[in-house]
Structure 1
Amino acid sequence: MSYVMPEDFVTKMIDAGEAKVFMATRDTLIRAFMAGAILALAAAFAVTVTVQTGQAIVGALLFPVGFSLLYLLGFDLLTGVFTLVPLALIDKRKGVTVRGMLRNWGLVFTGNFAGALVVAVMMAVIFTYAFSVPPNEIGERIGSIGEGRTVGYADHGAAGMLTLFLRAVLCNWMVSTGVVAAMMSTSVSGKVIAMWMPILLFFYMGFEHSIVNMYLFPSGLMLGGDFSIGDYLVWNEIPTVLGNLVGGLAFVGLTLYATHARTAATRRPADAAPVAPAPAAAPREPETLSMS
């Protein structure tokens, strides 16, 4: 795979963040909607595989297919713009403002949620034959996921909230690493391989991804999960969004920017001998022209 050096792909990260700030509202919403829908389908696929095989690792191995597809199609996730867009602001790109950044985040959040919710309704209809029968085994699993990852945290109070927040931080550390990893290669195969590894890690470890949860929790409510919309917002979605912001920006965006876009001066060893200035060239004697 054609490898792109860090100083080059970090420039691409800043350029991408700048482009997203100035993208038209229509395009931002469409790309965010499709990203949320594709990731939701991937989550439904991973849960289905896990239930049918009884092996969580199989579902985790296959989940990154959705992330890879949406990235290659040029769609946007909130977790990605959390990492990329602030870099354009920090780099003082012309016309990039805090207001423009927040506008982008708001539009992407809205589009992601709409896409994930549409898929949640479709899959709930499929799992219940249009709500005419109880949910099948896969639907029951989705309901239990929503219950365990809302009231399950609430049962532990502040300790549960801290655990939820840290799982969200770690999630976007890995997801944003996947976004950046795709910029390390100029080939499709290289991009997919680089993305696959951190996405597999986050999903198998059960970290909290705000867009995946936009599918799992509304779907869980429709499929009989014993939790409320308030439980979902307070004990999952809001802390997860905040944790995703911290994880992607602090551990991926800012670290790469600081060390590759704003690299500090190179240090010399303390005992290194000073470099002597080059000796001045001796003046040349004027040439004597002889006439014959």
Structure 2
Amino acid sequence: MAYLAPSEFVTKMIDAGESKLFMSTRDALIRAYMAGAILALAAVFAVTITVQTGSPIFGAILFPVGFCMLYLLGFDLLTGVFVLTPLALIDKRPGVTLSGILRHWGVVFIGNFLGAVTVAVLMAIVFTNGFSTPPNKVGEAIGVIGHARTVGYAEFGAAGMLTLFVRGVLCNWMVSTGVVGAMISTTVSGKVIAMWMPIMLFFAMAFEHSVVNMFLFPSGLLMGGNFSFMDYLIWNEIPTVLGNLVGGLAFTGLTLYATHVKTGPKRSFK
């Protein structure tokens, strides 16, 4: 499989971030909507496999199928644009501004959320036979996840908030590595392998991904989970978004940019 050198794929990252910022609002919203919907379906798939097998590792191994699908189709996740778009500003690309980046993040957030919630409603219909029966085993499992990863953090106060934030940081360190993986190879098989590894790791470790959570928690509320929408926002989504931003930009975007584009001076042995 064809492999691009780091200096080549980091340049592709900057180019991609720049092009996303000048995309029409309509296109950005549609791409984000579809990304949120596909990732939500992948989350359902992973939880279903976990329930069927009784082993979470099998769900983690197969969850990346959704991530690979959406990036091969050119759709956008908030966690990805957190990494790519600031690089265009740092590289001083013409016309790129902080306000433009923040606006794009807002459009992608809305699109991802709408896509994820759409799937949450559709799957709630499936889980409950059109809201005529109690949730099936998969629906029940999703409700439990929502409780443990909102109220479960709240029980520990500031320490729980710190834990949640750090899990968000670690998550997008891996997810953004998967985003970069889509640019490492020029073949489909190469892209899939490069994306698969870090995504499997983040899901197996139960790190916090803001877009996956846009599905899990609204879905959990529909399934009768014992937490509120404000619990979800305060004790999951907001800290997770902030952690995802820090993790992806600090550990992936800036480190690659600093060492492969704006490299330090070469050492002299004279």
TM-score by length of 2: 0.99
Which residue number corresponds to residue 140 of structure 1? 140
**Structure 1 segments of 4+ aligned residues over 4 angstroms from their partners:** none
Pairing of 1:175-186 with structure 2 (within 5 A): 175-186=175-186
The answer on 1:199 being equivalent to 2:194 is no
For the residues of structure 1 that align with 2:10 and 2:138, how far apart are their CA atoms?
A: 41
Pairing of 1:47-62 with structure 2 (within 5 A): 47-62=47-62
The answer on 1:38 being equivalent to 2:38 is yes
Corresponding letter in the other structure for 2:48:
T
Q: Which has the larger radius of gyration?
A: 1
> What is the aligned residue count?
270
For the residues of structure 2 that align with 1:5 and 1:35, how far apart are their CA atoms?
A: 27
Displacement, 1:194? 0.4
Which residue number corresponds to residue 95 of structure 2? 95
For the residues of structure 1 that align with 2:196 and 2:268, how far apart are their CA atoms?
A: 39
Corresponding letter in the other structure for 1:115:
G
For the residues of structure 2 that align with 1:11 and 1:209, how far apart are their CA atoms?
A: 26
Which residue number corresponds to residue 279 of structure 1? none
Structure 1: 5+ residue stretches without partners: 273-292
Structure showing the higher helix proportion among its residues: 2
For the residues of structure 2 that align with 1:166 and 1:12, how far apart are their CA atoms?
A: 28
Displacement, 1:181? 1.4
SS in 1 for 2:95: coil
Which residue number corresponds to residue 66 of structure 1? 66
Which residue number corresponds to residue 277 of structure 1? none
SS in 2 for 1:158: helix
For the residues of structure 2 that align with 1:250 and 1:163, how far apart are their CA atoms?
A: 18
Identity, in percent, stands at 74
For the residues of structure 1 that align with 2:268 and 2:195, how far apart are their CA atoms?
A: 37
RMSD: 0.5
Show CA shifts across 1:205-255 (max 9, x none): 000000000000000000010000010000000000000000000000011
Corresponding letter in the other structure for 1:54:
G
For the residues of structure 2 that align with 1:186 and 1:268, how far apart are their CA atoms?
A: 36
For the residues of structure 2 that align with 1:61 and 1:108, how far apart are their CA atoms?
A: 27
Which residue number corresponds to residue 168 of structure 1? 168
Which residue number corresponds to residue 28 of structure 2? 28
Corresponding letter in the other structure for 1:53:
T
Show CA shifts across 1:75-99 (max 9, x none): 0000000000000001110000011
TM-score by length of 1: 0.92
Which residue number corresponds to residue 223 of structure 2? 223
SS in 2 for 1:93: coil
Show CA shifts across 1:126-182 (max 9, x none): 000111111011100000000000000000111100000000000000000000012
For the residues of structure 2 that align with 1:203 and 1:162, how far apart are their CA atoms?
A: 19
Structure 2: 5+ residue stretches without partners: none
For the residues of structure 2 that align with 1:3 and 1:161, how far apart are their CA atoms?
A: 40
Corresponding letter in the other structure for 2:29:
L
Which residue number corresponds to residue 276 of structure 1? none
Corresponding letter in the other structure for 2:57:
I
Corresponding letter in the other structure for 2:62:
L
For the residues of structure 2 that align with 1:155 and 1:25, how far apart are their CA atoms?
A: 40
